[in-house]
Amino acid sequence: MNSLRITVTIMVLIAFAMNMIGAAQVEKVSPDELVDDIEEYNGSMGPDNVFYGLKLAFERLDESFTFNETKKLDKKVYHSKLRISEAKTELKKKNDKGANKAFENYKEKINETEVSISGILGNDSGIINAQKIIEKHQYVLERLLESHPNNTGLKSAYNNSVELEDKFEEKTRKKLERVQTKEGKHYLKEGNLTKADIVDVMEIKTIEDEEKSVKNKDNKSEDHNARQERNDKRED
């Protein structure tokens, strides 16, 4: 009897894992129009589910057994999308605790994504596609901020996304700008960073480092104020 239970459990776990792997592989880069196309999560393993941690563990397992760095990056980006989807559902239910749990795991995935891009060439098509997808996710987060401006987890997740955008620009030397058509649609326009832009990116990185060293001190540097002003404009 015990062996039967073990066998059934293993089969369920394998099926679950294969489902996770298959889901991650269907993430494709759509045309570069910016739309809120992340649907609400309608599965059973949301942030409040007792097996939520198990689901995240299987996602990490799937990533760890993906040895191609570009494909691994794709899966991390896809899993960050799932966290936004889960948070959307929890926000709709007015479950701030569940939404913040999803956003915390989104931030964790964003940090992992930053590590992943360090091992990929900047001109790799996979990393450029990932950069576009992250920009689209950021657009969705902005729309959520419009309807939930006081959610601290959402604000923090958005700021993490902005920081990751900067890291992508450093790596690919490509800047994604938003353009609007006469019909009111928004698209991403890809352009190469100029020499001045690259200097600006490096200055921002320096400012971030200096912020860490002056944290909790009374005297704020001018560089710190400049970085804070930039973040305020992002949130607006």
In this predicted model, what pLDDT tens digit does every residue of 49-106 receive, in sequence order? 999 999 999 999 999 999 999 999 999 999 999 999 999 999 999 999 999 999 999 9
Alpha-carbon distance of 226 to 156, in angstroms, equals 19
HEC-encoded secondary structure of 120-149: CCCCCHHHHHHHHHHHHHHHHHHHHHHHCC
pTM metric for this prediction = 0.71
Q: What is the pLDDT of residues 171-214, one digit of tens each?
A: 999 888 888 888 888 888 887 655 554 444 334 343 344 444 44
Q: What is the pLDDT of residues 68-78, one digit of tens each?
A: 999 999 999 99
State mean pLDDT over 27-48.
81
Q: What share of the chain is helix, strand, coil (3-state, %, to 5)?
A: 70, 5, 25
